[in-house]
Every structure is written in structure tokens, then in C-alpha cells.
Chains A and B, each alone.
Chain A
Amino acid sequence: MKKAITFIAALAVSLMGMTARAQEDTQIANHLAAGITIGLDGVGLEVALPMTPYVQFRTGYSFFPYVYSGHVNLGKIEAGGASRDLTHTPLKATLWHGGAGKFLADIFPGRNTSFHFTVGAYIGPGKLFHASADLSGALDPSDYATMAVTYGEGANKISISTDPKGFVNADVKVGVVRPYVGIGFGRAVKPDNFVRVTFDMGVVITGGFKVQSYSYLRNPKGDPSVLTSAALIDDEGHQIDGGWIDKICGFPIMPMMKLNVFFRLF
């Protein structure tokens, strides 16, 4: 009987110990938070998953919700044998056209520290700036995607035409996959808090910038031509910009800052 009591007592102590360990928060993929973000990448949604007290994964999508809509004065041009009035051309412009997906890993130096390092990448079309001018009213439909103006020669030639709907498109493009490194403050998930505010700042490695226009004469999806200093020459062959376009576009990084508000789901 004594043996039985001893055994039951030992079992009870063991079970209590196991229960105690189960109640301790390991933070190994046992919480999830969803949040909204606002920053230089626009506004976005993010999901955060702490893998250990030292590492947290975040993924999401951000986009720029504001589209500038107005008119620009492109003057009067001669095209297709007639004078075309482009003094009141409708224009739409936006940042981060097409948005970007993001995959980030936060690395915390201590078990309870708020400060962290972040590495990851933004993935998307990379259209940092995109503008579209509506020339459909000014041109004859037979001229859509069949007529282009060019500037420069050879590999530096810039070619611009309307697309098959009569729009002229241009953008500032960065890489499709853009690595990110930065620092941040705050944990997206803390078991005791329902709402958490965090902050990120760092640099996105863009690989440089391309200012480009499109010609649709050979490809209905558009062939880009990139503006370079070598393309900007006057009629005598002298460079117009002193090489500044290449210098500015060659800058390989851009800053990133954003504020995030997370809500713990479980």
C-alpha cells in the first residue's frame, strides 16, 4: 500500500511539474499578431510570428494609396500631320505602383529587449514612381502605339509612344527584389498586451534607379528605354546634364522608415 501511495505521489508531482512547464510561455511560434503599417513604403498589412524570444518573422504587403490626378501642360506638338494641343493633358501619378510584398526577420539581442535588428526583402514591380499621361483625346486612335518620338542614338536611344489605349507611361524603377537592413524598436507580440506599437528604420538596397519611358511599337506590353546622361545630348553632341542623371540614378540605397501597430490574435 505504501508503495502505491508513494507511486501516486510521485506521479502527481511529475504531472504538476509538466503542467507548470506548459504554462511557461516559450514564444516558439505560439503567438500571431496582425497589424497595419504606415511609412515610406506606403500603408500596409503585416503578420508577425515570433519564432523564439530572439527571432520574429514578419510578412505582408504595402502600397501607396494616394494617386495624384491633375493636368499638365505638355505644349503643342506636330504629330500625324496636325497640331496636337497637349496643354491640358490629364495626368495620374503615384508612388510604389503595384505595391510590394515584404519578408522581414527581427533579431533581438536579448530575451526581453525591445531594440532589434531587421533583415529581409521587399519584392514587387519596383515602380517607385509611375506617371501616366492620357493623350487619347489629343491623338488619332490610329496613332496609338504606332507612332513614337525618339531621342539619342543606339543603346542610349529613348523612345516614347502611347500604349494601345493612348496613354504615355513613364516611371522611376528600382530592383524587383530589394534587400532591407535596419534597426527597430518594439516587439510585435507580447503575451500580456493586445496592442503593440513598433518602429522600423533602415535602408532598402535598390541597386540604383532607372528613369524610363516606354515604346509600344514593337511590344504591346511596352519596351522600356532608360534615360541616361549619355542619352541627354544636344544637337552638337554635347552632354546636357553634366553626368548628374547617372550619378543620382547610380545611388544604390534609399531610406525606409515605418510605424507599425500590431494586434495579438492569439
Chain B
Amino acid sequence: MKKYIVWALAALLMVPVSCNKGNQDNPMDEPATKDLAQVITFKTAAMVGVRNIQSIEFTEASRYIVTYTVTKAESENHVIFGNYTYTNGTFNLDGFGHVTINGSEVTITTATTGGSPVTATATITPTTTSDTPHDNLCRNWKVGKIIIGLSGGSFGAAGIEKVFNNGIKMDQICTWLDDNNISISEENRETLLKYSVEEVCVTGAGSIAISFNVADAFLGHYQLNNSNISFGFDSSDIPFITSGQFSGTVSFEGTNCLVIAQASMVHNEKTYKATFEMTLTEAK
């Protein structure tokens, strides 16, 4: 009898253990460089070659984002995006150079400086993520399936939706838009057709960087409140998107993330509502 009671107690104890496993809030691994995540904001732009470096962000997941202007009067930042490693107090930025931090003094060494280090004063803000949605979202993502929906405009109360199974490839999207009489201007078309999204990087400092197969990246900023997200991009190159702001929801299933976001678009003076449903998988 005792044996049965012991077994019954053991079984009862197993129940909460099993439940806890099923209810785990965060099944994802911690990003590789979470402890190194920080933003360097230069008090006066660091002149490196022809670039006026405005900021350098080291993300939670081994990526760096450098923003710069070419002329001091330029208002829109250009973006350099890539991988970094950290050894012996030095950040090694692939394709850019090296960065060392000593208090508020930041030293940048790149090929364009001819090996001569450039030192500038900066504000250094460590990045922390304070809740599970941020912990889950702040990493690198590959775009898998995307469903784009368009309604309003010339469609009236109707609309169209299309699945793209292999990420965001602008040639496919432009062809689909063409097929539905929403043609991109020749000026934009030439450039855009070559673009496809390589990676989406979300950081705890509130940045979203989208890198493309060509050496280019868009930088944007987001706000996340539980599952509600809003984001916009600094670049004015994104065709049609006039609201400058996307809003929607984020949800997680296992190590996948589903983002559903909406934005307004204008074409031929008609306003369309665009919906993007992106399934993201983590990219290390």
C-alpha cells in the first residue's frame, strides 16, 4: 500500500513540473552578445574618412549598426550593418574596422583612416531588455513566408492578398504589384528589383535594421508594448509607404515570430491600406 501512495505522490508532483514546462514564457536561447549590447552616440560626429559617424550600436545578437552622414549638413543617416565579435576589449566590426571604448573615449580604426585611429567623445548607453516580449524580439531574424494584402485605393471595398514563400524579394513583389496595375516608377524600379531582404535585426535600444542582399540597409525604430508594435523607417526610399509608420502585433510560437503590420500607401493619388504578415525565424 505504501508503495502505491509513494507512486501517487510522485505522479502528483510531476503534474506541476510538466505544466511549468508547457507554460515556459521564453523558449528561446539568450542572444550571443546580450551583455555587450550598447549604443555609442558621438557628441560631435567622428570624422572617419569621408564619413561623419553619428552612432554605433552593438546589438544583442552580434550585429553592429553604424550611422553616418557624408556631409555635415545632411539630415538623413546612411547605415552600415554587419557582424561583430569582441576580443580583448576590442569590437571587431566585419567590413568596417575596430572600436575600443575607454570611458567616454571611443577609438575607431578603419581601413579608410589608413590604420590611424580616430578618437572621439561619446555617450555610451548600455542596452537592457526588461520584459519577455523584448527578450524574444531583440535578435536577428530571417523572413520566411510573407503575405501582403492591399485594399482600398482603386480596389474600393475589395482587396487582394498574395503569399510569398521565400522572403521579401522585391522583383517578385514588384511583378505582383505590376500585375495588379500598381506600377512602381521606372526611377525606383531599376534599383528596387535587385533588392531582397537578407535579415531583420531588432535591438533592445529600439532599432530595426533591415539588411539586403546588396550592400545596403534600412534603419528604423520601433516601440513594443506587450504584443503591440509600431515601427517606422528613417529612409524615404521605401516606395509608396507614406504614413511612415507601421502598426500591428507580434506573437511568438516556439522560436518563430509572427509580425502582422499595417501601413498606408499612396499610388496615383489613391490611398491603399497595406498589410504585411511576416513569419520570421531566428538567424544566429
Contact = CB atoms under 8 A, between A and B. Distances in A.
A14 interface: no
Contacts of B157: 151-152, 233-235, 237
B175 A153 contact: no
A42 B206 CA distance: 61
Given A81-B175, A81-B178, A218-B147, A151 B161 contact: no
A235 B159 CA distance: 12
A159 B180 CA distance: 17
Contacts of A69: none
Contacts of A148: 160-162
Interface in A201-218: 215, 217-218
A147 B178 contact: no
Contacts of A147: 160-163
A152 B178 CA distance: 23
B149 interface: yes
A239 to B, nearest CB: 11
A146 B252 CA distance: 23
B161 A81 contact: no
Most chain A Cβ neighbours within 10 Å, of B149, B160, B161, B162: B161
B160 A146 contact: no
Contact of B151 (A81, A153, A215, A233): A153
Contacts of B156: 234-235
A80 interface: yes
A149 B160 contact: yes
A217 B147 contact: yes
A151 B163 contact: no
Given A217-B147, A235-B156, A159 B161 contact: yes
A167 B101 CA distance: 62
Interface string B250-282: 000000000000000000000001000100000
Contacts of B151: 150, 153
B158 interface: yes
Contacts of B159: 149-151
Contacts of A146: 162-163, 165
Given A150-B151, A235-B156, A217 B161 contact: yes
Contacts of A234: 156-157
A84 B147 CA distance: 22
A152 B165 CA distance: 25
B179 interface: yes
Interface residues of A, number: 23
Interface in B176-217: 178-180
Contacts of B175: 81
Contact of B179 (A81, A161, A215, A217): A81
Given A80-B179, A81-B175, A151 B158 contact: yes
A120 to B, nearest CB: 38
A81 B162 CA distance: 13
Contacts of B165: 146
Contacts of A151: 157-159
A79 B179 CA distance: 7
Contacts of B147: 217-218
B197 to A, nearest CB: 19
Nearest to A82: B179
Interface string A229-245: 00001110100000000
Interface in A60-91: 78-82
Contacts of A145: 163
Contacts of B180: 78, 81
Nearest to A152: B157
Contacts of A149: 158-161
B179 A150 contact: no
B181 to A, nearest CB: 8
Contacts of B273: 153
Contact of B163 (A82, A217, A233, A235): A217
A196 B66 CA distance: 88
Nearest to B277: A218
Interface string A81-104: 110000000000000000000000
**What are the 7 tightest A-B residue pairs by CB atom distance, in nearest-first order?**
A81-B179, A235-B156, A150-B159, A146-B163, A148-B161, A217-B163, A151-B158
Given A78-B180, A217-B163, 8 more contacts: A78-B179, A79-B179, A81-B175, A146-B162, A148-B162, A152-B157, A215-B161, A218-B277
Interface of B: 147, 149, 151, 156-163, 165, 175, 178-180, 273, 277
12 contacts: A81-B178, A146-B165, A149-B158, A149-B159, A150-B158, A152-B157, A153-B273, A159-B161, A217-B163, A218-B147, A233-B157, A235-B157
